[in-house]
Amino acid sequence: MTSKFNSSERDARVMRLCEELMEIEQRLIPTGLHIFGSAGELKEKESVLRMVASFDRPELGARALAGLIADALGIDCYEELLRETPTSETRELVDGIVSEAVERFCEGGAEMAASWLNLAAGVKAEKSLPTFSLLASISKQLDSNNEIESLVRALRGEYIEPGPGADIVQNPLVLPTGRNTHAVNPYSVPSQVAFSRAKLTAEALLRRYMDEHGRYPRALALVLWGLDNIKTQGEGVAQALWLLGVRPVRDALNRVTEIEVIPLEELKRPRIDVVMTVSGIFRDLFAPTMTLLDKAVRRVATLDEPLDLNHVRRNISESMTESAVEFDEAVTRVFSNAPGNYGTNVNFMVMDSQWETEATLGDLFVTRKCFAYTRDSKGRTVEGHEARHLMDDALSRVEATYQNLDSFEVGITDVDHYFEYLGGISKAVETRTKSRPAIYLGDSLSPQTKIRSLRETVRLETRAKTLNPKWYEGMLKHGFRGVAEIENHIANTFGWSATADAVEPWIYTEISKTFVLDPIMFNRLLEMNPHSARSLTNRLLEAHTRGYWNPDEEIVEKLRDIVGHTNDRLEGVGAL
């Protein structure tokens, strides 16, 4: 058989395929729900510990195991090597040793793992012991669980010890669970580490846009959430500052209240305009940070720089001439809900199928989020003044939208909040610019910064979770709730069709085959949770009727029959 590719094209394709497979394999895949009050299982613990051991933690004197192994084996510049060729044999070698070291640690403890690593890779025990000691303390805390005891103490009105709120891999000090989660001091945000990481992520984002469009975007819309800025000490905030071309400055009390402009010669690119929609939680937690962001945009807008190197200034002067608004209005870039309100409601509209045209979803987003947090012409603080025309105007210049993923456990199809925010704003931009923006997500999870398009992320999540037997069998162990989680994933996937047309049709086909058209599987779902079994089948039909998926008529008929039978069954037990 002759191939339509020549051999180097074929090699490049095989390599890309291999990289994609590795990426799925390397994801940490949650294998079930957390059960309040109980400790996790051994296999799960091993995966978490391997992830924990993949980060350098200078504050704890512990290095990443992979780095220690690479050093001992004399592999130069391991980090750069990973960035350039994620699928090399070297990586396989190092990963293999890391996995075995963690496995041995779980079997025999820190000392044994350290001496094994010395024999296997020549890593001196005194170098690896701080890392294994960290794993030992995490492992002990994962084996115990005080959640029920703490809940009972809370119900008695007794004192609950505080603990930081974060992702376990990013900050193992979140353990033990069952404590009173505290957030951050908003004046400490962004931290220096967050700013350094943000530079890498924001530059990778611009590089990706540049590769696809041949130029920088004039304006980006960013979604900022409270919890992920707590977890990352403000990486999202720092990305916005870096895109604008400013850095945070601390005052005499070590509070981040000022910014400093980075000269264009140092920045080596134009300043990018950023439209920030912040969640209600962010607004409540980070008032001084919102002031900082507003200040940064104002400062950049008044810099005496060429318009093609300062998109903020260019966009604002265009608004002032085209929309006849004053500078103080045109410069508004920080938007959120009205005071006391939360969320976009786009998720509820999608879940309840209460929409006719997709544009309604973007409009709802703007209706909920068009409250300006800024200053007026007299310098007085404006907190949540309705400014729909200003948000419409700012969005009408946006060319790309972006949000960070900040947790190993919660991805874009696990909850409806990612599509209500990133999907909602992307649809709002699309209807205002008459063109779909480039939509990206950043992975602030791994030591290597990674930018993916929304479509890539949907594919990755679908393969790593929804269609992965390891994930769905883990869910099915939870019976009723597990089936509801599978249904949620399918509905959230659908949310990405409705808001951004980001779901390739094969995804719906495979979901149908896996969960509905396989009679054994469907019966399992039906036994455990007939309501969710019916809803997920209806959602697949909705994907078809709304034009996101066009399977053979035979499949559609089968799905309809199945809904019919399920209705009969539910009516039979009086559950409708």
Q: Which residues bind ligand BEZ (CB under 6 A)?
A: 225-227, 279, 281-282, 417
Of the pair 45, 369, the CB lying nearest ligand BEZ is at 369
Of the pair 225, 508, the CB lying nearest ligand BEZ is at 225
Of the pair 226, 248, the CB lying nearest ligand BEZ is at 226
Between CA 152 and CA 154 the distance in angstroms is: 5
Q: Which residue is associated with the tokens 């400055």?
A: 249
Side chain identity at residue 170, one-letter code: Q
Between CA 507 and CA 500 the distance in angstroms is: 15
Encoding tokens for residue 217?
A: 């975007």
DSSP notation for 71-109: HHTT-TTHHHHHHH-TT-HHHHHHHHHHHHHHHHHHHH-
Eight-class DSSP state of 194: H
Q: In angstroms, give the least distance from the CB of 227 to ligand BEZ.
A: 3
Q: In angstroms, give the least distance from the CB of 344 to ligand BEZ.
A: 9
Q: Are 302 and 316 in contact (CB under 8 A)?
A: no
Of the pair 23, 414, the CB lying nearest ligand BEZ is at 414
Q: In angstroms, give the least distance from the CB of 261 to ligand BEZ.
A: 29
Between CA 124 and CA 118 the distance in angstroms is: 5
Q: In angstroms, give the least distance from the CB of 424 to ligand BEZ.
A: 11
Of the pair 227, 454, the CB lying nearest ligand BEZ is at 227
Eight-class DSSP state of 402: E
Q: Are 422 and 454 in contact (CB under 8 A)?
A: yes
Encoding tokens for residue 452?
A: 């993916």
Q: In angstroms, give the least distance from the CB of 441 to ligand BEZ.
A: 15
Of the pair 128, 492, the CB lying nearest ligand BEZ is at 492
Between CA 391 and CA 308 the distance in angstroms is: 23
Q: In angstroms, give the least distance from the CB of 406 to ligand BEZ.
A: 9
DSSP notation for 271-330: BPEEEEEE-HHHHHH-HHHHHHHHHHHHHHHT----GGGBHHHHHHHHHHHHS---HHHH
Q: 401: part of which helix (H) or strand (E)?
A: strand 400-405
Of the pair 34, 250, the CB lying nearest ligand BEZ is at 34
Of the pair 416, 443, the CB lying nearest ligand BEZ is at 416
214 φ/ψ angles, rounded to the nearest 5 degrees: 75, 10
Of the pair 69, 281, the CB lying nearest ligand BEZ is at 281
Q: In angstroms, give the least distance from the CB of 418 to ligand BEZ.
A: 9
Encoding tokens for residue 247?
A: 């850095």
Q: In angstroms, give the least distance from the CB of 224 to ligand BEZ.
A: 8
Between CA 462 and CA 23 the distance in angstroms is: 13
Q: In angstroms, give the least distance from the CB of 225 to ligand BEZ.
A: 3
Of the pair 217, 226, the CB lying nearest ligand BEZ is at 226
Q: Are 52 and 169 in contact (CB under 8 A)?
A: yes
Q: In angstroms, give the least distance from the CB of 191 to ligand BEZ.
A: 18
Of the pair 282, 472, the CB lying nearest ligand BEZ is at 282
Q: Is 2 exposed, middle or buried (0-12, 13-18, 19+ CB in 10 A)?
A: exposed
Q: In angstroms, give the least distance from the CB of 182 to ligand BEZ.
A: 15
Between CA 439 and CA 401 the distance in angstroms is: 5
